[in-house]
Amino acid sequence: MSTFPLTVAVITHNEAENIARCLDSIPFAAEKLVVDSGSDDDTVAIAQAHGARVVHQDWLGFGPQRNFATTQCTHDWILVLDADEYLTPELAAELQQRLPELMASAAPAAYLRRSTIYMGQPMRWYRPAVGERMARLYHRERARWSDSRVHESLRFDGTAPTLQAPFNHVNNPTLPHKQLKVLRYAELKCRDWRDKGKPVRMWQAPFVFVLAFLKDYLLRLAFMDGWRGFMIAQTAASYALYKRMRYYEMVNNPKSVADATDLLNKHHMDR
């Protein structure tokens, strides 16, 4: 198979169960780069065995970590995946067909569509999990990741084409995995809010939970996916509420920031 001057960039921490599948789904990339933040499992060895160059970088937050990875890439065009994501054969074929034209153009980036596998099965109706459009392919001189600790996004000017075939996301293999991620992501998001001086508006909290649940369950069609859809909507609403409660605590009891950091560090979650 011919290769393209493209770097696949993956940031990792303890992804031994996922990294091989991710890297093997992109056989046409000239370079595979893994930026690891201190895994204590076999992530690094497995990544190297599957053709990746591994660079260590202590955790900076999602946005800064991705921007660091960009600086380590050999090629200007970069495809970003998480370790629990992988290309479908259909998307791999579409990329091989469209990459020459895209790379010769002045486009800053391209959108890919992500499909989610939740509780071992693909979501069929829930809109954010079926063909969600995400900017993941970009030219490093024309695009940059936001500096957010979590929920980072690729920033660029101009228009970007959209590829049609999806890539897959194996989202949180169990509910405990999901709850731990919610806890970690909420802490990171609240730190961003604190740095920006976001006002505390606890009066919104009850409405936030109800509206977030109804948005996902009804408007985004989670109810069509049965009980799995209900669980996704409930988790999203709980996350929206918990963020606001935790931020209220951060502002009103600043000592809680250090106390929570110590606890998260004990469980290797403050990253």
pLDDT tens digits for 113-125?
999 999 999 999 9
pTM score of the predicted model = 0.92
Tens of pLDDT, residue by residue over 34-76, are 999 999 999 999 999 999 999 999 999 999 999 999 999 999 9
Give the pLDDT score at 173: 83
Tens of pLDDT, residue by residue over 73-131, are 999 999 999 999 999 999 999 999 999 999 999 999 999 999 999 999 999 999 999 98
Which residues in 118-138 are b (16+ Cβ under 10 Å) and which e?
A: bbeeebeebeebbebebbbbb
Token readout for 157 is: 């000017």
Pairing label, strands 4-12, 77-80? parallel
Sign of the Cα pseudo-torsion (183, 185, 186, 188, in order): positive
Question: In this prediction, what percent of the chain has a pLDDT beyond 90?
Answer: 94
* DSSP symbols for 241-268: HHHHHHHHHHHH-THHHHHHHHHHHHTT
- Tell the burial category of 174 from Cβ atoms under 10 Å away from its Cβ (0-12, 13-18, 19+): exposed
Cα–Cα nearest to 87, from 188, 157, 168, 31: 168
Give the pLDDT score at 47: 98
d(CA 240, CA 210): 10
Res. 267 pLDDT band, cuts 50 70 90: confident
Cα–Cα nearest to 261, from 271, 253, 247, 252: 271
CA 239 and chain centroid, separation: 16
pLDDT higher than threshold 80 for residue 164: yes
Token readout for 119 is: 């509780």
In the block, residue with structure tokens 């569509």: 113
Token readout for 48 is: 């190297």
In this predicted structure, which of 29-38, 58-67, 170-179 has the lowest mean pLDDT? 170-179
- Three-state DSSP class for residue 79: strand
CA 267 and chain centroid, separation: 21
Give the pLDDT score at 271: 77
d(CA 243, CA 11): 25
pLDDT higher than threshold 80 for residue 1: no
- Three-state DSSP class for residue 167: strand
Give the pLDDT score at 172: 83
d(CA 83, CA 101): 27
Which residues pair with residue 86 across a beta bridge?
A: 168
Q: Are 236 and 118 in contact (CB under 8 A)?
A: no
In this predicted structure, which of 27-41, 173-187, 232-246 has the lowest mean pLDDT? 173-187
- Tell the burial category of 85 from Cβ atoms under 10 Å away from its Cβ (0-12, 13-18, 19+): buried
Which residues pair with residue 177 across a beta bridge?
A: none
d(CA 33, CA 11): 9
CB atoms inside a 10 Å sphere around CB 242: 18
Give the pLDDT score at 17: 96
Tens of pLDDT, residue by residue over 137-161, are 999 999 999 999 999 999 999 999 9
d(CA 125, CA 130): 7
